Amino acid sequence: MNTADIDPDIRIEPLTLTAADGYALAARRYRSALPPRAHLVVGGATAVPQGFYKRFAEHAARRGFDVLTLDYRGIGESAPPTLKGFRMDYLDWGRLDLAAGVEAMRQDGMPLYLVGHSYGGHALGLLPRHDWVDGAYTFATGAGWHGWMPLREQVRVLLLWRVIGPVWTRQWRRWCRFPRYFFDDPQMQATTERFGEVRFPIVAANALDDAWAPPASRDAFMAGYRNTSVRAVTIDPRGQGLGPIGHMGYFRPQALPLWNEALDWFEAQRSAATGR
């Protein structure tokens, strides 16, 4: 770690989580000197290492959240020495890996919240214990269907699907053929039924310049969380003076106002639940 990146007010603790199937996952816990007000788990986007969320995690820790990030199996520090012969199901990242993070942070009787980026918003419905979660805030979560995307991006995505190879990405490709992602896949009915069991409130924020997950794509996917409150937030990057957001800019420094909106919402949820 570069010493210039060290924040004396934040303690970063590397740890290893064990998923229910025994797979070892690399994780980091971000703690501040302040007594924690709530626990927060970050569910990352497809194939994005946890280090991408470091600045957000540090900012949340400064505001009094006890934060956990993790690398999904096969990604970053949770990858085996070689991916040759590595086998996994795309759903494992939610039902096993993010689930291990939630279980690790369920303690002290404090509220537990989730932040999901892209796939991380899909993973909420895959968790085996929804009742352990008190609320979630997602960025860039959408249905993945090329028809929701601008024309130029549609062409790029259709070309991508022709060359993509690993088994788990072939699953992704199959679901992206449907306007409502795996909710429209008849083979996925047993899995998608679980999304109806989610009862914790969700805020889903998507930027107008997010070519992969524009607001229409978000609305198509979030309809699957049919038995809870989902508040849609549409971000106008230009109008809000944020600069380009796209699909990945939600966790870059210019998005600080978006981070604070999410953390403010968690604070409001916590205050309403605890009365303080």
Q: Could you tell me whether strands 24-32 and 65-70 are parallel, antiparallel, or unpaired per DSSP bridges?
A: antiparallel
Ramachandran angles phi, psi of 47, nearest 5°:
65, 20
CB 102 within 8 A of CB 127: yes
Burial of residue 187 (number of CB atoms within 10 Å: 0-12, 13-18, 19+)? exposed
- SS3 string, the chain, reads CCHHHCCCCEEEEEEEEECCCCCEEEEEEEEECCCCCEEEEEECCCCCCHHHHHHHHHHHHHCCEEEEEECCCCCHHHCCCCCCCCCCCCCHHHHHHHHHHHHHHCCCCCCEEEEEECHHHHHHHHCCCHHHCCEEEEECCCCCCHHHCCHHHHHHHHHHHHHCCCHHHHHHHHHCCCCCHHHHCHHHHHHHHHHHHCCCCEEEEEECCCCCCCHHHHHHHHCCCCCCCEEEEEECCCCCCCCCCCCCHHHCHHHHHHHHHHHHHHHHHHHHHHCC
Q: In whole angstroms, what is the distance from residue 157 CA to residue 49 CA?
A: 22
Question: Taking the domains of the chain in order of start, what are their residue ranges?
Answer: 3-274
Low-confidence residues in the chain, pLDDT < 50: 1-4, 165
Instruction: Write down the pLDDT at residue 167.
Output: 52
Residues 136/202, Cβ–Cβ less than 8 Å:
yes
Backbone φ and ψ of 232, nearest 5°: -90, 130
Topology (CATH) of 3-274:
Rossmann fold (3.40.50)
Q: For 76-125, give the secondary structure using H, E and C.
A: HHHCCCCCCCCCCCCCHHHHHHHHHHHHHHCCCCCCEEEEEECHHHHHHH
Facing residues of 190 across strands?
Answer: none
| pLDDT tens for each residue of 180-232 | 999 999 999 999 999 999 999 999 999 999 999 999 999 999 999 999 999 99
Q: Kindly state the tokens that stand for 138.
A: 């997602």
pTM of the model: 0.92
